[in-house]
Amino acid sequence: MVSGKVILMKNLLLIIITLSFYFLNDAFARCDNDQRSFMEGLKLEQPSSLKVSFYDEKFEQANVNGYKGFASNGGNLGVGAVEYEEIYFDIVKDEKIDLCARVIYAQIFETRTVGFDIGSLNSSVGEVDFCEPKEYEKKLDDFNHICNWFEGDAELTSSSKKNKGTKGNASNSVVYRTGEILHKSGSELSCVQMATGFKSNYPGYYQVVMLAHFCISDFKYLTKQKIKSLAKSLGIYGIEDPPIGQRLSFHK
């Protein structure tokens, strides 16, 4: 039986990962379970002003944009203030996708429950659900960007059978799963989705969560070592700084 506390945290995770392409099951990705009204305050920001960080050498040649949002409360989700940041990267040539990547950071404050339920996130990494865009998503500056995938834009053609794990820069556990996507543009992409947590305030619960995905047209690029490198690069300045050798040029 799932406790009320876990249900609240699942609902919150659904909110936080709204703008990301993700491999998650119906507990997180169900399109008709929308409780994301507080995300309407998202604003386009210079990526250099954001704390969240994700690194690959290809990002230095990519187009980069970022969003930031803060809500003084999480509505009816049993949490207090929520801080959210996102950076996304793309390399598109002749309307064909070479690379789409995104990293999200969220932190909750003044919780009436415990925190992000990373155990539920770990057990739920597995499926793609491409939903119809919400009204606030239609108002975002990058709504029509080729790397934003809504219902009818793309399909999952294959996925690894189970999650795998590796270690981040702070010895934090990073869970990931790989898959392949066919986009309506004809682009075929090899992808990895990963998630991790920081600032544990109770066993299995965290105040900070990071989610990232990396999709590329080169099907030989995402080796085991490359995935480990991507996982180690995940960081948030002031909480868990990224490794010195894996920092984006605008953050150095």
Using DSSP's 3-state secondary structure scheme, residue 25 falls into coil
Per-residue pLDDT of the chain (252 residues; tens, 9 = 90+): 333 333 334 444 444 433 333 333 322 344 655 444 445 677 889 999 999 999 999 999 999 999 898 877 655 455 667 888 999 999 998 889 999 999 999 888 766 566 677 666 666 555 556 777 777 777 777 777 778 777 777 888 888 888 889 999 999 989 999 999 998 889 999 999 988 988 887 777 888 889 899 999 999 999 999 999 999 999 999 999 999 999 999 886
Q: Which domain holds residue 70?
A: 4-246
Residue 251 lies inside a defined structural domain of this protein: no
Which residue in the block uniquely carries the two structure tokens 């950076």? 87
Name the residue among 224, 211, 231 with its Cα closest to residue 169.
Answer: 231
Residue 66 lies inside a defined structural domain of this protein: yes
Residue 88 lies inside a defined structural domain of this protein: yes
Name the residue among 65, 213, 67 with its Cα closest to residue 128.
Answer: 213
Q: Which two tokens stand for residue 166?
A: 């590796």
Residue 163 lies inside a defined structural domain of this protein: yes
Which residue in the block uniquely carries the two structure tokens 């929308």? 34
- Per residue, the 3-state secondary structure of 44-75, as one string, reads EECHHHCCEECCCHHHHHCEEEEEEEEECCCC
Residue 113 lies inside a defined structural domain of this protein: yes
Residue 147 lies inside a defined structural domain of this protein: yes
Structural domain count of the chain: 1
Q: Which two tokens stand for residue 69?
A: 């949002």
Residue 252 lies inside a defined structural domain of this protein: no
Q: Let me know: does 195 contact 102? Beta carbons within 8 Å.
A: no
